[in-house]
Structure 1
């Protein structure tokens, strides 16, 4: 399973949040052995940027554990107050080949 999480951040908070999210991803790599990627939509709108975190290859049997670890790492890093609005989480899974 893969997680795609997108949210908005004020451009003024972007440098601080970048450091915090990189720390969150390093924590998840160490604790969950899941590497994260961080992307940003080009440009901004009304002083806000759209960011996306991507976590791939999460075992279906450990999705709940990973989500809990992610929320804990975000809280520990103090990242959530820098995010404008909600974090939108989307789950995707691989399509099994036809037999």
Structure 2
């Protein structure tokens, strides 16, 4: 199962957000062995960018670890609104 997390951030906070999320993802990769990436939409809307964190092949219990690590990273204080999460699973065959 893969996890995608997206949110909006004021363009003025882009560099600080990037630093904090990279640290957060390094910690999650170390602790859980997940492959993580950070992406951003190229265009800004109303002075904000949409950012996305991706986590591939998440283990059981990852949500709790993610919540704790996000809190410690202080990423949430830079986000305008909520962190939205979506889960996707691989499909190996189609009927």
Shorter-chain TM band: over 0.9
Query: Once superposed, which parts of structure 1, at least 4 consecutive aligned residues long, lie more than 4 Å away?
Result: none
Is it true that 1:86 corresponds to 2:82 in the alignment? yes
Q: Structure 2: 5+ residue runs without aligned partners?
A: none
> How far is the alpha carbon of 1:35 from its aligned partner?
1.9
Structure 1 residues without counterparts, runs of 5 or longer? none
TM-score (norm 1): 0.90
1:74 is matched with which residue?
70
Listed one character per residue, the Cα deviations across residues 9-47 of structure 1 (whole Å, up to 9, x for unaligned) are 001111111100000000001111112111111110110
Query: Secondary structure in 2 aligned to 1:68?
Result: helix
The equivalent of 1:39 in structure 2 is 39
Residue 95 of structure 1 deviates from its aligned partner by 1.2
Number of corresponding residues? 95
Instruction: Please give the alpha-carbon distance, in whole angstroms, between the structure 1 residues aligned to 2:88 and 2:39.
Output: 17
Q: CA RMSD in A?
A: 1.3
Q: TM-score, normalised by structure 2?
A: 0.94
